[in-house]
A and B are shown apart, each in its own frame.
Chain A
Amino acid sequence: MAEKTLKLPSEVYAEIKDKPLIGKRRRVQLPQWAVAWLVLLPALVFLALFMFYPIINCFFMAFIRDFQYVDSGGTFALSNFFRAFSDPCLQPFEGAIHCTKRLGKYFMAFGFNNFQTVLSNGLFLQSILNTAILVIVEVPLTIIISLLIATFLNNIKALKGLYQTIFFLPYVTNSIALGLVFSILFSNTSGGIMNYIITRLGGQPVNFLGDIAGLPYKMADGTIVELPAASKFNQGIVIVVNSVWNGLAFKILVFMAGLATIDKQYTDAARIDGAKSFTIWRRITLPLLSPQILYITITSFIGAFKMYTGVISVYGQGAYYFGGINKTDWMPVVGWIYLQMSNESQYKGINLGVPAAGSLVLLAIIMLITAVQFGVSKKRVHY
């Protein structure tokens, strides 16, 4: 019988664990739980301050009636609230409004009135509709195109690396810079490439960026036509093109990674059995890729519902400009939330509970989408 000569470290460790170290100064060893909490401390401090507290505070603000944050400095939002609770008249700005309004009486009450305000706000409902339209158009389009590109890339040999690199470029591009280039591509000047192509093909110039109607547009033959009025549809095209362009890189990469894991034996076997390429793709590749498709669908629906820079970057007129004369043509939900919490509206005395409630509505929508997609995926996804 062969004698066991080597011991596993775990066995050695079990033997020496409780013995004092020989020939070595014994260092003070903290128990493992203490080490764990010590190394977790930096992360937990930041998370507590900038993640857990904000989440709790958001619920808090959303469900309090007439919560007013006062920009007096020196305190956190929560303690600020308690001060407002004890004596609203102490506060220099909104406090004064409060006291005249309520004749010095201040009561704290929980309720749904912030949600009432949000859900009866026409602009908010419009922003939800806007976002939904953009999401429903953009996400399937992006997924289909990226699936096609990934499949095609997987089937070529020469220049594969070059194409892969080109298709990945949008991922490292600054979305503001990109939107601004798109706004020049879609501009209503004669040098705007899109309008140049449209007019060369015999069409009329299109007002893509919501500019004023009637601006002169010089056609290629020198005649000058008036720019038609901006329509929401035309502006939506630019936003969708911009978002699709931006979203392709990530999805192509994930699909490529998924395709690389598919065993070639399956497709080869099917090919020997005489299956057509499309059948193979439809019956083998697509089902085997379904985990990636599910993952991409969920993340891109969530990501697209939080769309914001994709809209403002196209217009390039600041953080709160979403197109049109009212600046709100394509306002997304997130844009509405930021507008509500921006200084501009805060000084008008709008309470922060309203954007807080709005962001909770966004959370609810996102959770609903995720739940629905997981429900659907149980039947369709093959692991």
Chain B
Amino acid sequence: MAEHAMYFADDSALRKYKIKRVVINVLLYTFLTIFALFMLLPFILMLVGSMTNADSFSTFESTANFAELGFKNWTFSNFEQIFSGKITNQLTGQTENTTSFAQFYLNTIISAVGSTAVTVVTAVLAAFAFARLEFKGKNILFASLLATMMIPGELMVITNYQTTIAIGWRNTFAALIFVHGVSVFYVFYLRQTFQQIPNELYLAAKVDGVGDVGYLWKVMIPIAMPTITTIIILSLMGAWNSYVWPMLVTSDKYKYNQDYDMRLVSTGLMELFNQQAGGYSAIKIAGSMVVTFPLFVVFIIFRKYIMRGVSRSGIKG
């Protein structure tokens, strides 16, 4: 507040201003704290519920006795059940065999890494062509790519689903990796970064006898690395959280590919909730926790990249 002192006629005006400032600050922080708690509420439930003994949590649900929650005697048994694939049914008391979440993790990691690799490679190459090279039809092609960004993905899903069945990709990683292997948005985003690289560098490289691809590899990619990192992280996050497409192409585990459960974390989680109608809530919450947690770790490590990338590129998750 000291820097504003010069604006005020006398001390009483300054004091008035200071009091007003304090009141405003209290209001601001109160509002923000209330909303922050609203934001954190699901996470608090996730944390407490998943660490509470499944029976205790059921008791809590029917009695609203908060002492039942696992503040004192917390347990990992819910996670054990999820990862061992042996879940106790609340109604029958029997142990039911399901797919372990470790399997879903593995599937999701494979498909996320695969699709991110394909996305990044195709986006870098295409953005290079659009930003740096001259060829006939460049503008028309780029405009038509941009136009497709307007079209809702649901329109393409219908045919893509049929294509996937027709070429035998149902329940394969290929369907999860290649069908959304190119993101027009990332091409567009990367092209903007590439265009900011001065032309003189390209010509200097040419003088030194470096070819187009050599220039891309040795100059453009290192310069655009922050953008590429952002694309990698956002693409991984998108693949981890995707639900609709994996649900369509991997849900038929009984008809196709019986030995191997191809489902991803989101679809597996939905199944956990869906099939276990009489199941323990604590186990379901633990499932949510298990699905959410890895991305939290990624977020904490790459917070700057993610927030900067999202605000600059304006990507809707």
Fill in one digit per residue for A312-355: 1 if any B CB lies within 8 Å of its CB, else 0. Answer: 11001111000000000000001001100111000000001001
Residues on A with C-beta less than 8 A from B312 are 257
Q: Nearest-CB distance from B192 to chain A (Å)?
A: 16
Q: Nearest-CB distance from B281 to chain A (Å)?
A: 6
Cβ A13 vs Cβ B206 within 8 A = yes
Question: 30 A-B Cβ contacts within 8 A?
Answer: A10-B200, A10-B203, A16-B207, A24-B209, A32-B212, A33-B136, A35-B213, A39-B133, A44-B126, A50-B160, A51-B182, A61-B159, A73-B166, A152-B28, A167-B36, A167-B39, A173-B292, A174-B288, A178-B288, A181-B46, A181-B288, A187-B281, A190-B61, A190-B62, A191-B62, A193-B45, A250-B316, A254-B311, A303-B316, A362-B155
Residues on B with C-beta less than 8 A from A366 are 150, 152
Interface check B154, CB cutoff 8 A: yes
A positions within 8 Å CB-CB of B: 8-10, 12-13, 16, 21, 24, 27, 29, 32-33, 35-37, 39-40, 42-44, 46-47, 49-55, 57-58, 61, 69, 71, 73-77, 80, 145, 148-149, 152-153, 155-156, 159, 163-178, 180-182, 184-185, 187, 189-193, 196, 218, 220, 245, 248, 250, 253-254, 256-257, 271-272, 277, 295, 299-300, 302-303, 306, 308-309, 312-313, 316-319, 334, 337-338, 341-343, 352, 355-356, 359-360, 362-363, 366-367, 370
Instruction: Pick the residue among B135, B158, B179 that contacts A356 (CB under 8 A).
Output: B158
Interface check B307, CB cutoff 8 A: yes
Fill in one digit per residue for B197-220: 1 if any A CB lies within 8 Å of its CB, else 0. Answer: 001100110110101110010000
Known: A163-B32, A175-B243, A341-B158. A36 touches B314 (CB 8 A): no
Cβ B129 vs Cβ A39 within 8 A = yes
Known: A172-B237, A177-B291, A196-B64. A319 touches B125 (CB 8 A): no
Cβ B154 vs Cβ A177 within 8 A = no
Instruction: Pick the residue among A35, A58, A306, A355 that contacts B212 (CB under 8 A).
Output: A35
A342 nearest CB neighbor, chain B only: B248
Known: A43-B187, A167-B36. A362 touches B154 (CB 8 A): yes
Residues on B with C-beta less than 8 A from A164 are 307
